[in-house]
Every structure is written in structure tokens, then in C-alpha cells.
Chain A
Amino acid sequence: MRARNYFVGAAFALLAGGMAHSALAQDIKIGEINSYSLLPSFTEPYRKGWQLAVEEINAAGGINGKKLVVISKDDGGKPADAQTAANELVSSEGVAMLTGTFLSNIGLAVSDFANQKKVFFLAAEPLTDAVTWSKGNKYTFRLRPSNYMQAAMLVEAAAKLPAKRWATIAPNYEYGQSAVGVFKKLMSEKRPDIQWVDEQWPPQGKIDAGPVVQAVAAANPEAILNVTFGPDLVKLVREGNTRGLFKGREVVSFLTGEPEYLDPLKDETPEGWIVTGYPWYSIKTPEHDAFLKAYQAKYNDYPRLGSIVGYQTIKAAAAIIAKAGSTDTDKMIAAAEGLSMPSPFGEITFRKIDHQSTLGAYLGKTAQKDGKGVMVDSAYKKGSDYLPSDAEVEKLRPRD
């Protein structure tokens, strides 16, 4: 028995060495949950981002003089485990607020937990519109531009294309379904003349790309909307390139310009796709320069979009607590509503009406440069320009 304890203990010392946290009573603790083991390609840069933020905040004297400590938990991609982690952070660690999450269903699960337990929750990444609208609640705020916002940005560019026959390819789950749904709706409003000629719904992570590409090609669309990402995107692009699917067709694609998804494509990056993303190499603003320099100095690596999300999440959390002057949940909510703050992408505001931040995204076209995928002709799209009117939002969101 003792031997096994020793073994397990040694394993932990080895594995969890970097995670040791020694929080003092007067520190401000923030609980952070993400799918570290399931989605390392996003969450590793994300973790680096928030660690940089913590370092900067504490170097600048902490929050109102108190040291900031972030306690981070893995949810393994399971909503139930995320709730266990949330519970531990709140009940056992006594954190002031919860932050993080990537997957939409986990975001919603933690949001529901926050609502039930009356805990402040700042959702970092989950894109589903439900987080701030249909299932929005008093305690939940979100940083990233939602599905709706990204779709609206893409539609703005897509509507200008001459293409009339459109096909869609999206992973078969809520994210894919709602991305396609919003895109179609907004697109059809602007361009009543277009036709939707085919839709493909490969299972997330299990695309059988050859038949899907063939099926789309058979419908002979003039333009394609893609919502797949990660390994599915790689397979789709490879099959599509080889089979000539993208030749002479416009492609509009969610998230593909994010380094997490664009970089693996290397010399197979398709040219001229209209995408949302993060062209860190071509953003020339003082805010971003400062972030980029600090990040590269600390990690000797370039940032991914996850880095921005992680960094800004903790920065926002700190700003909220600083403004509230306390870790009382109601005071933090009051402080967060309407809070404006700087970010590497420029100033952002947490809207009072639906708790959505106005963080935007970059819209541009894909291209190849030295055998690598890049975004060109990119421009920042402010989140505030791509949200529906307040009257509409009020209809979408249940009253607190």
C-alpha cells in the first residue's frame, strides 16, 4: 500500500508539478475550467495566454493590491465533469468567479450551474448563441464573438459574391447546425435570389471526406459554406483539393483563419477562402504589438487565437473585480455590465443588455506564403457592429 502511494505520489509530483498553487487567504482566486485533455491544440495556447495575463496583473500590483491566483481544472470535454470541477472550485476552493470553457454544451452546463448557485461566470470561448440569448442568465457573461456575430461578419462579405447556388458542409451538432442556420437566415435576408442546393452533415471528428466532397460537387454549387474545423477540416481540404471541389467556387468558412486550424494545412492551404480568424502576423496596432511582444518573450512561440482568448478572459475578470472593488457576486455583475476595457484587438465592452462582449474578429482571405497558410486582406470587425438591435435581443433573452 505504501509503495503504491509512493508511486502515485511520485507520478503527481512529476506531472502536476507546474500546477501547484498556494493561495493565501487574502488572495483573489479565480476558477478556470477548460477541455485541456480533449482539445490541447486550442487549450495549450489558451493556458499560456491566461498565465501571461496573471503574470502581468500581479507584476502591476495585483487587483486592488491583492494577488490574483487562477485555479485551473480540466473538464475532459464532458459537461458532467465540468460541473464537478465548478463545484469544487466554488465549494472547496472558494473562488470569486468561474471562467473558461470551450465547448458550447459545457459552457451552457457551467452557465446553468452559475445561475443555480448564484456564481459569476465569464464564458471564454463557447460560441453558441444560447449562452447569452435563449438560455442567458444574470450571472453569465461571454467574451468571444458568438456564432451569430461570426455568421454576420461572413455574410457581409458573402452577400457581395455573385454566387447564387450555395452548398453547406457543417459538423453534425449544435454548433454546426446553428452556424448554418444563422448564416442561411442572414444570407437569405440580404440575397433573396440565392438557392441552397446541398447540405452535408458529417459527424464531428469523423468526416468521411471523399464521399462528402463528391456529394457536394455533384450538386454543382457556385459557393460553399464550411463550418468544419480541426482534423475534419484537414481531411475536407485535402480531398477537396485533390478532387478539384474548390476550383472556380467561392468558399466561405467559419474560424478557418485561426492559426489553430490554418497552420496545420501548410502548403495545402486553399487560396481565397473568406474566413474569420486571427492573423497575428499582420496586425499592426499598439495594443496587439504589446501583447505579441510579451507573449513571444515569455514563450518563444507565436500566439494562437486561444492565447488571445485566455489572455483577455483573465484580464477581463481582473478588470471586473477591480471595478467592483469586491468579490461579491452582485457587485461584480453590476461592475461588468457596461464595462469597457482595452484588449489586444482594441477596446471592448460587456453589453448590459445581454452580457456579450463586443470583442470582434478578423475577416480576410486565405493564401499561401512560403508554404504556409496565412490570412491576407484582413480587417478587424468590431463585434458591436454585428449584433441585432436591442429590441430583437430583448425578445431573444429571457428576463432575469
Chain B
Amino acid sequence: MAFYVVQFLTGLASAASLFLVASGLSIIFGVTRIVNFAHGAFYMIGAYIAFTLTERFSGAFGFWGGVVMAAIAVALIGVIVEMVLLRRIYHAPELFQLLGTFGLTLMVEDLVVLIWGPDDLVGRRAPGFKGAVDFFGQNIPSYDLFLIVLGPVVLGILWLLFQRTRWGVLVRAATQDRDMVAALGVNQKWLFTSVFAVGVFLAALGGALQIPRDAVHHAMDLRIIVEVFVVVVIGGLGSIVGAFVAAVLVSELNAFGILIFPKISIILVFLVMAVVLIVRPWGLFGKPEAAARKTPGLTVNPWRPLTSNERLAALAALVVAAMLPLFAGNYALTVGSEIAIFVIFAVSLHFLMSVGGLASFGHAAYFGLGAYGVAFLAKMAGLPMIVCLLLGPLLGCMGAAVFGFFAVQLSGVYFAMLTLAFAQIVWSIAFQWVSVTGGDNGILGIWPEKWAASPSHFYWLALGVAALVTIALRVAVFSPFGYALRATRDSALRSEAVGINAKRIQWTAFVIAGTTAGIGGALFAYLKGSVFPDNLGISLSVDALVMVLLGGVETVSGGVIGAIVYKALNIWLVSQTDLSKLVLGGFIVLIVVVLPKGIVGMLEMLAQRRRKASPPGSSLLAKPIESAE
């Protein structure tokens, strides 16, 4: 019995640290609607700075002072980030902030190694909490007890802050209805900045408090960020109590789950999230998201099919690309093939995200399923390459049909997180089912047949498929189905009122996007000659999001350009420097600040400015933007 009590308390201690970080993320999202990918990075910087301070200043005062000072210092960094970077992009398309904070995260991962060195750092134990307390023969670390108390205390302080102060009232009001607060004449700028600072403070405090239990190292951020997102979503976005309950739920399920299924940790949080979201689409304590008021600024550039001149230009570009083998070497051709494959991947997500308004955070699942489909067919059934290429993507199609059905019942960030959960579940199956998938060692030896083996032939194959897929999806965008899909994105109310079954349209789009991603994955398996769980992993899903956002989510061809720019740059940087993340992250942040509509979006805007001397200055167009400033 004592054992179960202690296991429960241990779970509570894990929950406390998770809650600290999650509450910060939840507050930030609730008010600013920023999907703060950099939250884990702030957590990590908090730990690093706290390490430095606690090593320098000894004693109880040095330790606790160091922890708090570190959190404050990081909060100040957060303020700078908010003012310099995020303020510029609050009115960029949804999720563009994700791109900016993703860029920051990349930079921070390299910066901490540059500043603090490559070694894992192990800090001091907390003065006064070094030992353990005996509980009927079981030892409970006293620091765990400290954390168990700290969690509810922080919850209480936050509650008081939100219920009893004017600032808290404003924050709650802003969580409910941002525009209303702006209309009340509140200085929204400083409200956002202060909220961001508080959120970052909590993240950094969470990181700093890990010093006595964990090692400080440069991958801490990735370890926590996804888990924290999951906790926030399970709890319900913007709900602090929800975050607390979810943290306890997840930690306790893990603490007791490993007693029965020792391998469950790897997937547990995602299983819980998938179940919760299917049963309660807005998390445990969340409320239905108020229908996002579309920023009218979005609409400046209506989509239209290419003019015949533009078609010729696109054709010319394709012809030029097809002539690459005449003057480029094998390496360039292989890189070209890889870029072509990522164009397929990016346009498939772009179709779902831009046309359907459904931002999937787990799109790599269908890419990877396509790749595994090929691997199974080629290695187990021994089918010829062309058959594998045709049938392999069907695995992506089936995955998308099953998961898409559940995912499209949700919208917004909840949709995104459910797709992430499904992707992680698929990933962990690929990772764990060693007898079939080879686990993390993957499936090897899937090389192209003779007719496609030479780099130039494979390049033509990849380029041809990429061109076909891009054209097909463009046709779909301007097909009646494409219009219907855009209609469901723009207004659920109106599309229902003109007889459109939005869920079925979105589900179809999901399956189309998943199948297309699967085509990319199938080619990728042959390009690399192997398949690994990485091919369905989070980082690949994030890559796809970044490509679409970089190209411009409001445009028709953003996916193509985004994929080419991002992938080419990525490959080049990785080849040129070990600090590729720092440079790439810096580049992304720069793009976010300079081109807040993405590359293609900016080009289109410039083109339009040239066409029209003066923009159509309808008062309605400009008003909400100004009022929110």
C-alpha cells in the first residue's frame, strides 16, 4: 500500500514541473493566440541560466535566488522577443507566429551549446531538500514533496492573479474576446507583452527548478515542448485549472501505467490526448473556440487560376528544371530529387492548410505511411518498383481516411493537436513493432530498379511526379470541390446554410492530402533506399508546416516555393556548417519579420501594388487592423 501512495506522490511531483511550464503556455495561447513553439526554448534557457547562477552563488540564498533570478532574466528575454518579433506578426495569418517561434527555437538550440559548451551539465541539489523522507519504508525525495506543494501554490497564485487583480480581469476578458478588450480602450500592446512575460517566467521557472533532478543540456526543449502542448490541449486551451488537472492525469497514468506496460511512456500522452479530444473536442476544461473573426486584411488578393502567360512561365521553369541533368552532377541531381519530393509533401499539406484551413501538425504520418507502404510491398511482397510506387501511397490514403474522419470533427488548434496525436501513435507503432517495421533501425535496401536508378532518371521521375501532383492539386483548388472546401474554411455557418456537408468535404480533402503526401513518401523511400520512423516524426511534420508558412499560406503556389527555398537552404546549410540550426533559425526569423505574408505572399502583394496605384481603401478593410494595434 505504501508503495502505491509513494508512486502516486511521485506522479504528483512529475505533474508539478509539467504544470508550471504548461500553465505559461496556456496563458500565452489564451490571450495572444500564439502557438509558442519557443516555450521549450525558454524552459531550457531558464535551466541554463539557473545553472550558471546557482554554481556561482552558493548557499540557500544563492540557490533559490539564482532560480528566481534566472526566471526573471528569461522573462526579460521574453519581453524583448515579444516586442521585437511577435508584435510585428500578431496580424499575420494564423500560425505564422508558430514559424517565428520555431525559428527562435532552432537558434537557441545552437546558441546554448556555443555559450555553455557541449557537455551535459549537472547542477546542485536544492539546499534543504537534498535527502528523502521515509514513508513506511519507502523513500520520497524531499524535493519531490517541495514540488508537490509548489504546483498547487502556483495554481493558487495564478488564480488570485486572474480573479483579484485588474490585470487578471483584463487577461480573462482578452482570453474570451480579444477584440472586445481592444474596443474597451485597453492598451493591448502592454497587455500582450505582460502576458507573454508571465508565461515565459513560468516556463523558465519550470526549467530552473529542474536543476536538482535533471541534467541541463541542449535538447531539453524538444523533450518538453510537445508534452506541454499535449497537456495544455488535454486540459483545454487557456484553462489554467485544466492544465493542472491534465498534468496530474498524464503523470499519474504514466506512473502507474509503467507498472503494467513498461513501454507505455513513449506513447501515453498522445493516447490520452486522442481519447480526450475524440470524447471532448475542446479538452477537459476548455470551451468551444469562438469562431475566429477573419481578418479582412486576408482578402486583398483573391485566388485565380494562372493566366496563359503565367502558365507559359511555369512551363518554362519546369523545362529549365528538367534540363538540370545536362549540366549538374549526381549530387545536385539527388538534392534536386529530394527537393521535388518535398514539393509534393508541401503542396499536399498546403492543400489541406491553405485551401481547407486545416493546419495539420502530423502530416508526416501520411508521408511516412506512403514510405512504409513501399517498403512493405518491395521487401515483403517483392513487387516491382512501379507497382510499389502506385500502391504504396494507398497506405497513406488509408491512414488519412481513418484518422481524418476523427480529426475533421474538430477545428483550429484542436484539429492540429489531434493530427499530431495520430501521427505520434503511428510513429510509435513504427518504432515499437520491431518484427514488422524493424523499429528505429528501419527497413533497408529499397533501391530503385535499373530504369530509375541513375540520379538523372530518378530526378526526372521525381520532378515529373511533383509537377503532376502540383498541377492536379491546382486543378482541384479551382474545381467545384476546391470552392466548396474554401467555403467551409471561410464560414462554417454559411456553407452549412447552402447545403454543404462541411465534414465530408474536409474529410475528402484530408484523404486527398494524405494520399498525396503518401506519393511523396513513396518516392522518398526509393530515393533514400530505406525507411525509418523518422519519416513519420514530428520534426518532419514541422518541416512541412514551415515550408507552407514560408511560402505563404494565403497563396496558391506558396507550398511549391516554400519547399524549394526551405529544403535547398536546409541541405546547403547542413552541408556547410555544424551551426545550421542557428543560421536557418535566423533566416526564418528574418523572413517572418520582413515578409510576414511569406515569400509568395509578398511577391503577390508587390505585383498587386504595381497594378493598382492605390489600394482599395475601404474603411472596413482597415478598421479591425488598426483597432487591434
Residues of A within 8 A of B (CB): 4, 8, 11-12, 15-16, 19, 36-38, 40-41, 43-44, 73-76, 78-81, 83-85, 87-88, 91-92, 104-105, 108-109, 112-113, 115-116, 128, 130, 135, 172-174, 177, 198-203, 205-206, 208-212, 214-215, 217-218, 230-231, 234-235, 238-239, 242-244, 260, 263-266, 268
Number of A-B pairs, beta carbon distance below 8 Å: 223
Residues of B within 8 A of A (CB): 3, 6-7, 10-11, 13-14, 109-110, 113, 118-122, 130-132, 138-141, 143-144, 212-215, 217-220, 223, 227, 251, 254-255, 258-259, 262-263, 265-266, 329-332, 334-335, 338, 431-432, 434, 439-442, 444-445, 447, 455, 524, 528-530, 532, 534-535, 539, 571, 574-583, 586-587, 590
Do the beta carbons of B258 and A108 come within 8 Å of each other? no
User: What are 27 A-B interface contacts by the 8 Å CB criterion?
Assistant: A16-B577, A19-B576, A37-B578, A41-B118, A73-B575, A79-B534, A83-B529, A85-B574, A91-B455, A92-B331, A105-B442, A105-B534, A108-B441, A109-B532, A116-B447, A135-B441, A177-B434, A206-B223, A211-B258, A214-B10, A215-B7, A218-B3, A231-B220, A242-B141, A264-B120, A264-B121, A264-B122
Nearest chain B CB to A175's CB is how many angstroms away? 8
Given contacts A85-B574, A109-B532, contact A235 B213 (CB under 8 A): yes
Given contacts A37-B578, A80-B532, A112-B444, contact A244 B215 (CB under 8 A): no
Given contacts A84-B338, A201-B262, contact A210 B583 (CB under 8 A): no
Do the beta carbons of A40 and B263 come within 8 Å of each other? no
Do the beta carbons of A212 and B258 come within 8 Å of each other? yes
Q: Tell me the interface secondary structure of chain A in the complex.
A: helix
Do the beta carbons of B576 and A40 come within 8 Å of each other? no
- Top 9 closest A-B pairs, CB basis? A40-B118, A92-B331, A234-B215, A91-B330, A91-B331, A211-B255, A210-B10, A231-B215, A242-B141
Do the beta carbons of B530 and A38 come within 8 Å of each other? no
Q: A15-B577, A88-B335 are in contact. List 4 more A-B contacts (CB 8 A).
A: A79-B532, A80-B528, A177-B439, A234-B215
Nearest chain A CB to B201's CB is how many angstroms away? 24
Do the beta carbons of B330 and A74 come within 8 Å of each other? no
How far apart sit A172 and B254, CA to CA, in the bound complex (Å)?
Answer: 15
Do the beta carbons of A91 and B329 come within 8 Å of each other? yes
When distances are taken between beta carbons in the complex, the residues of chain B under 8 Å from A218 are: 3, 7, 259
Do the beta carbons of B580 and A74 come within 8 Å of each other? yes
Nearest chain B CB to A33's CB is how many angstroms away? 11
Do the beta carbons of A8 and B583 come within 8 Å of each other? yes
Pick the residue among B223, B263, B330, B529 that contacts A172 (CB under 8 A).
B263
How far apart sit A266 and B227, CA to CA, in the bound complex (Å)?
Answer: 30
Do the beta carbons of A12 and B334 come within 8 Å of each other? no
How far apart sit A40 and B445, CA to CA, in the bound complex (Å)?
Answer: 30
Nearest chain B CB to A87's CB is how many angstroms away? 5
When distances are taken between beta carbons in the complex, the residues of chain B under 8 Å from A76 are: 574, 580
Nearest chain B CB to A242's CB is how many angstroms away? 4
Do the beta carbons of B255 and A44 come within 8 Å of each other? no
How far apart sit A88 and B575, CA to CA, in the bound complex (Å)?
Answer: 8
Given contacts A84-B334, A210-B144, contact A200 B10 (CB under 8 A): no
Nearest chain B CB to A246's CB is how many angstroms away? 12
Given contacts A74-B580, A214-B6, contact A243 B132 (CB under 8 A): yes
In the complex, the chain A residue whose C-beta lies closest to that of B533 is A105
Do the beta carbons of B120 and A230 come within 8 Å of each other? yes
A174, A206, A214, A238: which has the most chain B beta carbons within 10 Å?
A214
When distances are taken between beta carbons in the complex, the residues of chain B under 8 Å from A198 are: 262
Given contacts A212-B258, A231-B214, A234-B120, contact A79 B442 (CB under 8 A): yes
When distances are taken between beta carbons in the complex, the residues of chain A under 8 Å from B575 are: 73, 84-85, 88
How far apart sit A155 and B572, CA to CA, in the bound complex (Å)?
Answer: 46
Do the beta carbons of A205 and B441 come within 8 Å of each other? no
How far apart sit A260 and B119, CA to CA, in the bound complex (Å)?
Answer: 8
When distances are taken between beta carbons in the complex, the residues of chain B under 8 Å from A211 are: 7, 10-11, 14, 254-255, 258
In the complex, the chain A residue whose C-beta lies closest to that of B263 is A201
Pick the residue among A116, A214, A264 that contacts B7 (CB under 8 A).
A214
In the complex, the chain A residue whose C-beta lies closest to that of B444 is A112
Do the beta carbons of A208 and B331 come within 8 Å of each other? no
How far apart sit A108 and B441, CA to CA, in the bound complex (Å)?
Answer: 7
How far apart sit A244 and B10, CA to CA, in the bound complex (Å)?
Answer: 15
In the complex, the chain B residue whose C-beta lies closest to that of A134 is B441
In the complex, the chain B residue whose C-beta lies closest to that of A73 is B575
Nearest chain B CB to A295's CB is how many angstroms away? 17
Do the beta carbons of A112 and B213 come within 8 Å of each other? no
When distances are taken between beta carbons in the complex, the residues of chain A under 8 Å from B213 are: 209, 235, 238-239
When distances are taken between beta carbons in the complex, the residues of chain A under 8 Å from B334 are: 84, 87, 91
Do the beta carbons of A235 and B7 come within 8 Å of each other? no
Do the beta carbons of A210 and B13 come within 8 Å of each other? yes
Do the beta carbons of A41 and B219 come within 8 Å of each other? no
In the complex, the chain A residue whose C-beta lies closest to that of B18 is A208
Nearest chain B CB to A316's CB is how many angstroms away? 23
When distances are taken between beta carbons in the complex, the residues of chain B under 8 Å from A203 are: 265-266
In the complex, the chain A residue whose C-beta lies closest to that of B431 is A173
Given contacts A108-B442, A264-B121, A266-B122, contact A40 B113 (CB under 8 A): yes
How far apart sit A209 and B255, CA to CA, in the bound complex (Å)?
Answer: 10
Do the beta carbons of B439 and A173 come within 8 Å of each other? yes
When distances are taken between beta carbons in the complex, the residues of chain B under 8 Å from A202 are: 258, 265
How far apart sit A338 and B130, CA to CA, in the bound complex (Å)?
Answer: 54
When distances are taken between beta carbons in the complex, the residues of chain B under 8 Å from A88 are: 331, 335, 575
In the complex, the chain B residue whose C-beta lies closest to that of A87 is B334
Do the beta carbons of A208 and B255 come within 8 Å of each other? yes
How far apart sit A15 and B576, CA to CA, in the bound complex (Å)?
Answer: 9
Do the beta carbons of B7 and A15 come within 8 Å of each other? no
Nearest chain A CB to B450's CB is how many angstroms away? 13
How far apart sit A4 and B213, CA to CA, in the bound complex (Å)?
Answer: 44
